């Protein structure tokens, strides 16, 4: 009997192709809490963002434990379901079978597996090494994730368009992954125009919802995605880390140029706001209740 996973079932209910759910990327618990506060229905536990936060390439450099513990920590500070980006599953199908129960135990609602070789290369890196495993091999990964995931949703990500293998191959792979038990299919593209993705979506048979990450084609509106009737989840894939980098660079530059910290006070969060995000009121309640 499939294990109960309330967060997974909550996420499944959100994957409505008539009204796609929105997920915001996060690289730490603070970003996850801010995303939930902003009203995003899910949190994308981004491997790219986490790698960037450690200032290392998104190329299977960080160990599974680092990503896993960050997913657990994100789930502890807010209630939106976590969609964990586990890249290629840390190896082959056997590695997947060992990994996914740990993500389930951490309270994760869904894992996303991609059909590239291990170690992976970032999908959007110019000149990146984009090599796919055989579709049958990846079906084994999907099956292992379903068998050992404790009720988590399994989202199969095909990189066929990223690898330049075309729509027909992307459709073939997506269908094969659904046959293996995928709950949704993430289709990714690095084209600056949305036409490649729109064509795929129109051709998709709709057996399971699609998932889009419109990083390369930001001109595609969420309303236009919903009008397709095929997409259950839209992921803002790297906006938290990009916003953080831009804001920190600007603040650090101004402090150096202006020779003081007074000038930036009006454009950064107050200490009181940070205390509130840290749960300071709950800490005070504990102090009053238990400190003697």
What DSSP letter does each residue of 118-186 carry, written as one string?
Answer: SSP--TTSTT----BPPHHHHHHHHHHHHHHSTT-EEEEEE-TTTTT-HHHHHHHHHHHHHHTT-SEEE
Q: Kindly state whether residues 187 and 267 are assigned to the same domain.
A: no
Q: Kindly state whether residues 81 and 149 are assigned to the same domain.
A: yes
Question: What is the reported pTM?
Answer: 0.94
Specify if 1 maps to a domain: no
Specify if 281 maps to a domain: yes
Q: Kindly state whether residues 122 and 183 are assigned to the same domain.
A: yes
Specify if 34 maps to a domain: yes
Domains held by the chain: number: 2
Helix (H) or strand (E) holding 246: helix 239-258
In the beta sheet, which residues pair with residue 24? 43, 236
C-alpha–C-alpha distance, residues 174 and 184, integer Å: 9
Q: Which residues are known to be catalytic?
A: 58
173-198 per-position pLDDT tens digit: 999 999 999 999 999 999 999 999 99
Q: Kindly state whether residues 252 and 127 are assigned to the same domain.
A: no
Q: Kindly state whether residues 69 and 205 are assigned to the same domain.
A: yes
Specify if 159 maps to a domain: yes
Q: Kindly state whether residues 122 and 214 are assigned to the same domain.
A: yes
Q: Kindly state whether residues 208 and 257 are assigned to the same domain.
A: no
Which of the listed residues 209, 225, 240 is the one where a domain comes to its end? Answer: 240
Q: Kindly state whether residues 256 and 236 are assigned to the same domain.
A: no
Q: Kindly state whether residues 155 and 267 are assigned to the same domain.
A: no
pLDDT, residue 3, reads: 63
- Give the model's confidence band at 163: pLDDT under 50 very low, under 70 low, under 90 confident, else very high: very high
Please, what is the Cα angle at 83 between 63 and 225, to 5 degrees?
Answer: 130
Q: What is the CATH number for 194?
A: 3.20.20.60
Q: Kindly state whether residues 26 and 64 are assigned to the same domain.
A: yes
Asked if the peptide bond before residue 119 counts as cis, ω within 30 degrees of 0, the response is: yes
Q: Kindly state whether residues 210 and 153 are assigned to the same domain.
A: yes
Range of the domain at 266: 245-290
Q: Half-sphere exposure of 56 toward its Cβ, with a 13 Å CA cutoff?
A: 10
Q: Kindly state whether residues 232 and 273 are assigned to the same domain.
A: no
2-34 per-position pLDDT tens digit: 567 999 999 999 999 999 999 999 999 999 999
97-148 per-position pLDDT tens digit: 999 999 999 999 999 999 999 888 777 767 777 789 999 999 999 999 999 9
């Amino acid at each position: 009997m499939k294990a109960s996973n309330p967060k997974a079932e909550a996420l499944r209910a959100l994957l409505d192709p008539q009204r796609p759910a929105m997920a915001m990327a996060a690289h730490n618990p603070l970003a996850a809490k801010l995303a939930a506060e902003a009203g995003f229905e899910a949190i994308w536990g981004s491997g790219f963002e986490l790698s960037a936060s450690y200032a290392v390439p998104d190329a299977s450099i960080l160990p599974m434990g680092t990503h896993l513990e960050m997913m657990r920590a994100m789930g502890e500070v807010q209630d939106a379901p976590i969609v964990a980006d586990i890249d290629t599953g840390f190896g082959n199908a056997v590695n997947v079978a060992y990994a996914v129960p740990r993500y389930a135990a951490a309270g994760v609602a869904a894992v996303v597996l991609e059909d590239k070789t291990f170690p992976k290369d970032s999908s959007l890196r110019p000149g990146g090494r984009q090599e796919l495993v055989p579709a049958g091999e990846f079906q084994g990964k999907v099956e292992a994730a379903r068998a050992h995931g404790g009720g988590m949703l399994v989202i199969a990500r095909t990189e066929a368009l990223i690898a330049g293998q075309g729509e027909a191959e992307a459709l073939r792979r997506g269908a094969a992954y659904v046959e293996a038990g995928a709950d949704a299919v993430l289709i990714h593209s690095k084209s600056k125009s949305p036409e490649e993705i729109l064509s795929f979506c129109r051709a998709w048979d709709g057996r399971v919802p699609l998932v889009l990450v419109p990083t390369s084609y930001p001109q595609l509106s969420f309303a236009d995605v919903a009008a397709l009737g095929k997409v259950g989840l839209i992921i803002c894939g790297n906006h938290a880390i990009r916003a953080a980098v831009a804001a920190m660079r600007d603040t650090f530059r101004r402090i150096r140029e202006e020779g003081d910290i007074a000038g930036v006070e009006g454009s950064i969060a107050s200490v009181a706001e940070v205390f509130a995000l840290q749960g300071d009121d709950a800490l005070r309640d504990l102090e009053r209740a238990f400190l003697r």
